[in-house]
Amino acid sequence: MSTLVVMLMPGTTLVVPLFLETSAVHLIGSMWSIILPFSFYPFGVFLAYIYFNTAIPRSLLEAARLDGCTEFGTFRRVVLPLATPVVALVGFFSFVANWTNYFLPYVLLPQSTQLPIQVGLGSIGVGRPELALAAVLATTPVLAVFLFSQRFLVMGMLAGAAKE
């Protein structure tokens, strides 16, 4: 339930608490102030929870435990190979959400030399053609992550398909 409540809250409502917390641990101005809050992506937690409860059969977990696997061994050897599609999906969604975030880096990184490219695009003083080229270059990491994760996403879509 707490994950759903966090998902319902707009991202801007979390800026002040995140600022206070990162200030308390002296992370303001470092890239860790951006990386750590985004490491816990609520939509990804919820999506993984739904996937693990519906797609992984309980009998498979019980068989692994009967064969002598520990909880971590069961997760590493049985569950994680079956969950590569959801891991790729959550990784892609998390990367895109973090890459396109504008407000939190603008607040937590006070120096203009530390700003990510999306925030920096708004502050550079160049003409439209140069700005368009910079925007295209800013989207290439998203394209690269998508091309890398696409193989795992397609593998997840075809996992239950029957061969005829």
| CATH number, position 124 | 1.10.3720.10
> Is residue 62 classed as helix, strand or coil in its secondary structure?
helix
Domain that holds residue 45: 2-157
pLDDT per position as a tens digit, 107-138: 888 776 777 777 777 777 777 788 888 888 88
The pTM of the whole model exceeds 0.95: no
What tokens were used for 5?
């409540």
Reference 42, options 82, 94, 89; nearest CA is 94
Reference 34, options 16, 17, 19, 12; nearest CA is 19
- The reported pLDDT for the residue numbered 89 is 84
Per-residue pLDDT of the chain (164 residues; tens, 9 = 90+): 777 777 777 777 878 888 898 889 998 888 888 878 777 777 888 888 888 888 888 888 888 888 888 889 888 888 888 888 888 888 888 888 878 777 888 888 877 677 777 777 777 777 778 888 888 888 888 888 888 888 777 766 555 544 44
What angle separates helix 84-99 from helix 128-157, to the nearest 10 degrees?
160
Is residue 163 one of the residues assigned to a domain?
A: no
Is residue 48 one of the residues assigned to a domain?
A: yes
Residues 97, 38: contact at Cβ < 8 Å?
Answer: yes
Is residue 99 one of the residues assigned to a domain?
A: yes
What tokens were used for 143?
């394209």
In one letter, which amino acid is 109? L
Number of domains in the chain: 1
Tokens 């800026």 -> residue:
15
